[in-house]
Amino acid sequence: MNFTIRAATREDCRDISRMIMELAVYVKRPDQVKISHEELERDGFCQNPFFECLVAEVPEEHKSEEGFTVVGYALYFYTYSTWKGPTVYLEDLYVMPEFRGNGIGSSLLSKVAEVAKKKQCVRLQLSLFDWNTPARDFYAAKGAQDLTVTEGWHFIRFDGQSLDNLANEAHSSSAEA
């Protein structure tokens, strides 16, 4: 199948938002999506963007049943390892189900890796649900290492009230400084 991988533009945010929801449904977490296409536009296409994104686009003659030509995306951002150096974190890699098996996901992943290498990143990291065997197999076949068992890493998150509480601690401690 003919497709193109390209940098996302502000105009792609509606399609990216749509596919974020499709991915959330797939991973059984649609109620967790709180972001809109407007927020994607604001956060990804500003002077200091929080993320970068690639999209997979098919020609009009291969559009989806619903009429979409943007059929996949890879959303990523840069972080830093104090042990290894610059790192790319792949937040999402998604291809619409009817377009899977055509090399689109592999191409998106390879392009993110190429971007990472050009930015002198030393690694590409991501997380996924333990039950998502197709994704685990996909990444393993590409050479990814599952650090859950080998290194015992746990992903920790502060959000909502726990993030508010933590931030409020800074206010009380900064008054003393």
Query: Which residues belong to the active site?
Result: 139
- Cα 145 to the chain's mean position, in Å? 18
Return the DSSP state at 32. G
CA distances from 39 to 18, 53, 167 (A): 13, 14, 22
CA distances from 95 to 8, 37, 120, 140, 145 (A): 15, 18, 27, 18, 22
Q: Is 129 helix (H, G, I), strand (E, B) or coil?
A: coil
Q: Are 3 and 56 in contact (CB under 8 A)?
A: yes
